[in-house]
Structure 1
Amino acid sequence: HLGYDVESPVWRHWVRDMSAHHTFIRYDERGCGLSDWDAKDFTFHDWVTDLESVVDAVGLERFPLLGVSQGGAVAVAYAARHPEKVTKLVLCGAYARGRAVRAQSEDEKRAAALDLDLARVGWGRDDPAFRQVFAAQFLPDGTRADWDAFDQLQRRTTSPENAVRFLQEFAHIDVREQAGHVRCPTLILHSRNDHRVPMRYGEELAALIPDSRLVALASSNHLLTATEPGWRVFCDEVDAFLAD
């Protein structure tokens, strides 16, 4: 939620530091935040189309593009589709294949299915126990305040029904083909001990994108916190990459 981002310890440092030396444009995707929660169409293709709509509405001609987590796949697909617009690509905690696509073992398949069950059962409850499973995966090294803020954001920014729809679509993302068509320089940053999206999937993405460089961050968090050393490394790497 654009309004809550500047208040939340989960996201406010992203807004603050990414806008320190650049114009930072952020939008709420369909189904959450200030965007329409009752969107009928809810596919990966729709998310890429929404990004196209934002770019057109703002009037951007050429620009660097940042994608975080599943937003990385949207950014990859957009960059492949619009090489004339994206000057540089920055991906953090991103992946080419969602959990259901990359699941091989029965344990991995059960873990992917568990995501959906947790959202169905726990998203709308006052008891935070179910949602804190997500907090533990996204912010394992976060403070209790970080976990509470993450939990609050989950409930405030989308409905239980949409949470399931999001997770279903995230799980089936597959941009391996599009990644091979990205033509701009790409910086990929990934936490070395990421609990949500293991490092090997950042490595896979780097192998798929031709002109890319992978930086491993000393963190276990999927979403970097403001106080950890990895965040400073992230900011320095992005600044240097965009200035180069």
Structure 2
Amino acid sequence: MAVGEATLTVETAGPVATVVISNPARRNAMTPDMWRQLPLLLDRIEAEPAVRVLVLTGAGDTFCAGADLGDVDEMLAAGDASTAVVAEERLAAFAKPTVAAVRGACVGGGCLLAVACDLRVVADDARFGVPPARLGLVYPTPATRRLAALVGPATAKYLLFTGELIDAERAARVGLADEVVPADRLADRITDLTGSIAVRSQLSVAAAKEIVDGRADPERVAWWHGQARTSGEAREGVAAFHERRPARFAWTFPTGE
């Protein structure tokens, strides 16, 4: 990667894949090309059986300062069909657990990428903001509703109406952050958390994600229960509990799931 290049990179360590947002000249703002690239990367990572957890983070000491605003007329014309919306929706629908590791600015499109993840572990120097009212923009419907579902209508309105930044402590109080850690401990905490998730039954984790997110209809729920009956995951988990040993879970998504 050339110095100063705006790009997304993927780093894989065992069962954990990390997507790194890098645009040093613009505090890791997402360019149109980066928005278009993200769903393709997610498709590739999701299809890799060895990957059990996805981490999204920013290069250096900034998560993402938002979207590179570029052509305003093009943005206005796209509305809810923008490449940013497509990317955020793909991230929200990712079949495996996703964790945002946040340092520094997490603003605008960056904040909504973090909201599209399942969990957000943030450094104590993190700052969050959603600035459409500063720019005269109408935020996309899916992202706005996802934000409101996470933090509640009143806090979502506060963020959207004022465009003000909130610190990590307040983000944790309103549910925007799941954990706050010292900045120099963020990488270690992400390693510990993703390692814990990766050794759990991926059947249990994937089913829980779909059900919590409201994406599992009765037929799909019945499919998950069928997987639990036939996969051997529960028998292995119970045996490991009684034998006081780590469970050796082996379930992965069937091809095409």
Same fold (TM over 0.5): no
Larger relative strand fraction:
2
Higher relative contact order (CA 8 A, sep 6+): 1
TM-score, structure 2 length as denominator?
0.31
- Larger radius of gyration between Structure 1 and Structure 2: 2
TM-score, structure 1 length as denominator?
0.32
